[in-house]
Amino acid sequence: MHSIWRSSLCFINFIADSIFMNLFEIFLLDLGFSWQNSRLLPFVFIIVGSLIIVWLIRKYKFNKLWLNISLKTGIVAIPLVLYFVLYPVYRGDVWDLSRNLTIKNNESSPNKSLRIYVLPNCPYCIETIEIVNQFHRRNPKIVIEYIIVAGSGGAIAKELPEFVRITYQKNSESLDEITMGSYPCFVLTRDNSLTIWDNNSFGLKSLDVIESAFSL
C-alpha cells in the first residue's frame, strides 16, 4: 500500500506545473479541449487507468478477502484522491456562476473586452497572472485589461506581462457595484452589459464562457 502512495505522489509531482493547471491539463488544452474538460478529463483517465491495473492484477490474490479488497480499492482511490487534493474541482470549474449587470451607455466599452479588477498587493490577484498567460497563449487576439484599484501599482504592476493593458482606477460606488468588494474580479464587457465573476465564482468554466463570447 505504501508503494501505491509513493508511485502516485511521484506521478503527480511529475505532471505538476502550476497552482492552476498541470502539464497534462495544458496538453489537453493544446489539443483543443475546453478549459472545463481539460480539468475533468484527467479524473476520468485516472479512474480508467486504475481499473485497467486492477483488471491486469486480477490473478494475484491474497488469502484474505479484505486484503484483496483493500488493495484494489487503494489502486483506484489513492491516485484519484491525491490528484484531487493538488488540483481540486471547484464549482466554478463545472458551472458558470457569473452574474450580469447593465451599466449606463457612457460607462460602457465598445464591442467586447476582458477586464480584470485587482488590488495592488493582493496575492490572489497576482496569482491570476499565471492563468492569464495561459489564456493569452490560447487566445492571442483577445485584449486583456488589468484595472488596478485604489493604488499606484504595488506588487502586481511589476509582475504583469507586456501584452496586458494596465489602467488605474479609484474606488467608487459604481466600481463596488461591479466587484462587490471581491478581488480579483473578472469582467466580460459586451457593449453596456457586464458578465462578472468575482473571486468566489471564477473558475475554468468562466474561461470557456469568455472564449465563446469572443468567438461570436
The pLDDT tens digits for 100-114 are 998 775 554 557 899
The DSSP bridge partners found for residue 194 are: 101, 189
Grid cell listed for 196: 462578472
144 CB-side CA count, 13 A: 27
Question: Which stretch of 62-71, 81-90, 146-155 has the lowest confidence by average pLDDT?
Answer: 62-71
Question: Which stretch of 62-71, 76-85, 144-153, 192-201 has the lowest confidence by average pLDDT?
Answer: 62-71
207 CB-side CA count, 13 A: 22
Overall average pLDDT of the 89-101 stretch: 96
- CA-CA distances (angstroms) from residue 88 to 40, 84, 91, 96, 118? 10, 5, 10, 17, 24
Selection from 18-22, 50-54, 71-75, 145-149 with the highest mean pLDDT:
145-149
pLDDT confidence of residue 57: 84
Question: Shortest CA distance to 25 belongs to which of 108, 76, 120, 89?
Answer: 89
pLDDT of 131 strictly over 80: yes
Q: Note the pTM of the prediction, 2 decimals.
A: 0.82
Overall average pLDDT of the 184-210 stretch: 94
User: For 16-122, where are the alpha helices, taking DSSP H only?
Assistant: 23-30, 35-56, 65-86, 91-94
Distance from C-alpha of 51 to C-alpha of 200, rounded to nearest angstrom: 35
Mean pLDDT of the chain: 86
Distance from C-alpha of 127 to C-alpha of 189, rounded to nearest angstrom: 22
C-beta separation of 22 from 15 below 8 A: yes
| CATH fold for the domain made of 93-215 | Glutaredoxin (3.40.30)
**Where are the CATH 3.40.30.10 domain residues in the chain?**
93-215
The DSSP bridge partners found for residue 112 are: 190
With bands split at pLDDT 50, 70 and 90, how would you rate the model's confidence at 169? Answer: very high
pLDDT of 50 strictly over 60: yes
C-beta separation of 187 from 101 below 8 A: no
Question: Shortest CA distance to 58 belongs to which of 69, 47, 66?
Answer: 69
C-beta separation of 162 from 142 below 8 A: no
Residue count of the chain, please give it.
216
